[in-house]
């Protein structure tokens, strides 16, 4: 008797459906491998909850380069908090924060080739397209590969484009100018005794984007691991403005880090990775199933 071939269109359960194209299979497989490699890199080469060993070499190379170029700078935000409170980069920090004076913008921009030639780093400026940034925003449900056009002034990625330092630029402002740049004026701004006080403002719309200049300068030094790190003049005052009065004295992970930066974090990452790979390989498994159904059926006795 004739041999009957069951094609996807001929199979009763598959009528009206088209077989998956090779392009879909290639894309699904590539995405699955990308997610798998990202998970392995996070879990084996540096957890997102303890990346200090990977971030610190980048930080020190950037600080040394600024020092050699004559660019005054200081640790800021979470990077400052980690070294001041814990003596190291925060276990659950994702990046590094450094501030400079806006007047030194061109000096830092001129270091672009030095970073590339000496360390393999890539320096981007505000508004630049960064493919890697787009991927990091996917978990927020959007594709956004551009740095904000105003802040940070620069972002410096390591050779693998995995770890980075954000560089913020401080603009010197009078009280009137400060009030035009922020909706969170620092405490004491309306004190008549501070009428002539000057402020340092970056252009990020956060509660700490304008601080009194005497909180930052003259810069101080923080001794960590036989190295003097550049820090603001009054660290507690700056941290109180950023995190609220004394709100910085205990570790408080934010966002997705609340979930993954605990004792269940490793298992959480593994389970999510397996689930994502399972979903992304559905087209491949469906294709293989249909291919198996297309094999000729042997005649009965």
What does the DSSP assignment read for 94-121? -SEEEEEEGGGHHHHHTTHHHHHHHH--
pLDDT tens-place string over residues 144-199 = 899 999 889 999 999 988 889 999 999 999 999 999 988 889 988 999 999 999 99
Q: Which residues contact 109 (CB under 8 A, 6 or more apart)?
A: 123, 125, 154
> What's the rounded Cα separation, in Å, for the pair 128 and 164?
15
> What's the rounded Cα separation, in Å, for the pair 151 and 166?
9
pLDDT tens-place string over residues 245-265 = 777 888 776 655 555 555 555
Does residue 21 have a cis peptide bond before it, meaning omega lies within 30 degrees of 0?
Answer: no
Q: Sorting pLDDT into bands at 50, 70 and 90, what band is 231?
A: very high
* Residue among 15, 4, 6 at smallest CA distance from 292: 6
């Amino acid at each position: 008797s004739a041999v009957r071939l069951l094609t996807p269109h001929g199979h009763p359960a598959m009528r009206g459906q088209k077989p998956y194209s090779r392009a879909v299979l290639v894309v699904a497989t590539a995405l699955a491998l990308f997610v798998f490699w990202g998970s392995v890199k996070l879990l084996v080469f540096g957890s997102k909850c303890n990346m200090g060993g990977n971030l610190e070499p980048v930080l020190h190379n950037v600080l040394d380069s600024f020092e050699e170029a004559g660019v005054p700078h200081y640790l800021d935000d979470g990077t400052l908090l980690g070294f001041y409170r814990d003596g190291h980069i925060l276990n659950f920090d994702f990046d590094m924060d450094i501030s400079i004076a806006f007047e030194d913008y061109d000096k830092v921009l001129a270091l672009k080739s030095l970073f590339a030639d000496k360390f393999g780093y890539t320096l981007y400026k505000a508004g630049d397209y960064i493919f890697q940034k787009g991927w990091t925003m996917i978990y927020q449900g959007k594709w956004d590969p551009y740095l904000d056009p105003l802040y940070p002034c620069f972002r410096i990625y390591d050779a693998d484009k995995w770890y980075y330092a954000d560089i913020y630029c401080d603009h010197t402002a009078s009280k009137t100018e400060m009030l035009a740049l922020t909706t969170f004026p620092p405490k004491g701004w309306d004190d008549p005794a501070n009428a002539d006080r000057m402020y340092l403002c970056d252009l990020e719309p956060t509660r700490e984007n304008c601080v009194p200049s005497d909180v930052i300068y003259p810069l101080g030094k923080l001794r960590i691991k036989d190295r003097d790190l550049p820090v603001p003049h009054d660290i507690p005052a700056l941290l109180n403005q950023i995190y609220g009065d004394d709100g910085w004295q205990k570790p408080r992970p934010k966002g997705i880090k609340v979930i993954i930066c605990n004792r269940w974090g490793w298992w959480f990452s593994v389970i999510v990775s397996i689930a994502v790979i399972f979903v992304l390989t559905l087209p491949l498994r469906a294709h293989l199933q249909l291919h198996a159904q297309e094999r000729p059926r042997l005649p009965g006795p």
